[in-house]
């Protein structure tokens, strides 16, 4: 009887190799995925409570006749939107918001870029001290800033701006800076920009620091001057940072309420969309109009955000 021979199977070169570690790796990947979902679940819950639920409730409320004196909440479709868009006071708030957006954005872009370029030229402790001083207005709440500027812009001799300008002979009489229809929006916009410039400086400084120095060195070899470097290198590569400042100015303008309320109250010639929502909901007790105005404001912000994304992610060849 012949002895049984045992044959050891060896992998054939070039043949298929069984991956015995694949099930282990798959199980490990699943555990990692479950851990990741568990870690982000609280954030999703917070977003759902603070963003999704209010947004859905606002959309539903904007489609109803939602008044304090009428608890029936009858479905009215787009009637609230048509009435709000036909309301002269709401249209005025849109124009006011556009004015604030222009003033705030231009002021933040200009002053922020100048300060960011200046900070970039500083080094060590000098930059840290200068940046700390510049960022201080950012920490001041809007209501406190409004009270501060109300003292500065006081139309009597007690106002710091009036007394200073009259003492040096630039004005002959005290001016009511906030009473002018267009000039008042410009002045209020500048007071808001005072608090918004620090964020613009931080964003723009980060954008400047992200530009490789080699590009400037190569442009110097090619004979480019400072002005040409700024126009052809700095500004194009700062587009993402500039877009962030643009979006922040839009969001700030649409939601601006507290500082305007402290300075001029509920003046219809000065309020923004946020002020119009406040009047609809808490003066007229017409929450349907307030919800419709809030949805319109959200749509405007979303449209500006799309412009922001296009500016950020558009490719540029150099």
Compute the chain's Rg from CA coordinates.
29
Closest CA to 87 of 265, 264, 272, 293: 293
* pLDDT-above-90 percentage for the chain: 24
How much of the chain, in percent, has pLDDT values that exceed 70? Answer: 89
Q: Please tell me which of 12-16, 36-40, 238-242 the model is most confident about, judged by mean pLDDT.
A: 238-242
Is there a contact between 246 and 308 (Cβ–Cβ < 8 Å)? yes
Give SS3 for 70.
Answer: strand
pLDDT in tens, 228-246: 878 888 888 888 888 888 8
197 and 139 Cβ atoms separated by less than 8 Å: no
The CA distance from 117 to 110, in Å, is 11
309 φ, ψ to 5°? -65, -35
Between 227 and 201, the higher pLDDT residue: 201
Question: Element (H or E) spanning 219, and its range?
Answer: helix 213-221
pTM beyond 0.75: the answer is yes
Structure token digits, residue 58: 């606002």
User: What's residue 20's pLDDT?
Assistant: 52
How sure is the predictor about 108, in pLDDT bands with cuts at 50, 70 and 90?
Answer: very high
DSSP state of 20: T
Number of neighbouring beta carbons within 10 Å of residue 4: 5
Domain 88-313 in CATH 1.10.3720.10? The answer is: yes
Structure confidence at residue 25 (pLDDT): 67
Buried-exposed string 254-280: b where 16+ CB fall within 10 A, e elsewhere: bbbbebbbbbbeebebbbbbbbbbbbb
Place of tokens 């002018």: 180
Overall average pLDDT of the 64-86 stretch = 86
The model's confidence at residue 293, banded by pLDDT at 50, 70 and 90, is: very high
Average pLDDT on 69-76 reads 80
**Per-residue pLDDT tens digits for 169-211:** 888 788 888 888 888 899 999 999 999 999 999 999 988 888 8
Distance CA 97, CA 105 (A): 12
DSSP SS3 for 255 = coil
- Assess whether pLDDT exceeds 70 at residue 112: yes
Q: Give me the mean pLDDT over the 272-298 stretch.
A: 90
């Amino acid at each position: 009887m012949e002895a049984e021979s045992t044959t050891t199977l060896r992998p054939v070169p070039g043949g298929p190799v069984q991956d015995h570690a694949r099930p282990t790796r798959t199980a490990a990947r699943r555990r990692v995925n479950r851990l990741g979902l568990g870690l982000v679940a609280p954030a999703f819950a917070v977003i759902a409570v603070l963003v999704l639920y209010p947004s859905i409730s606002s959309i539903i409320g904007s489609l109803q006749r939602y008044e304090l004196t009428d608890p029936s909440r009858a479905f009215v479709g787009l009637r609230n939107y048509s009435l709000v868009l036909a309301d002269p006071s709401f249209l005025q708030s849109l124009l006011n918001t556009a004015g604030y957006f222009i003033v705030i954005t231009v002021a933040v872009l200009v002053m922020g870029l100048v300060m960011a370029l200046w900070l970039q030229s500083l080094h060590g402790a000098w930059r840290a001290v200068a940046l700390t001083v510049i960022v201080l207005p950012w920490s001041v709440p809007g209501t406190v800033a409004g009270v501060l500027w109300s003292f500065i812009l006081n139309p009597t001799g007690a106002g710091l701006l009036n007394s200073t300008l009259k003492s040096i002979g630039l004005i002959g009489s005290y001016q009511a800076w906030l009473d002018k229809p267009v000039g008042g929006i410009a002045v209020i916009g500048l007071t808001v920009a005072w608090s918004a410039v620090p964020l613009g400086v931080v964003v723009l400084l980060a954008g400047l620091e992200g530009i490789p120095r080699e590009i400037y060195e190569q442009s110097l070899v090619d004979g480019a001057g400072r002005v040409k470097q700024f126009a052809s290198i700095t500004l194009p590569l700062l587009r993402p940072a500039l877009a962030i400042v643009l979006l922040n100015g839009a969001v700030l303008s649409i939601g601006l309420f507290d500082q305007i309320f402290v300075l001029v109250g509920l003046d219809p010639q000065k309020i923004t969309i946020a002020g119009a929502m406040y009047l609809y909901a808490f003066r007229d007790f017409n929450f349907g109009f307030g919800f419709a105005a809030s949805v319109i404001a959200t749509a405007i912000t979303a449209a500006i955000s799309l412009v922001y994304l296009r500016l950020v992610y558009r490719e540029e060849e150099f």
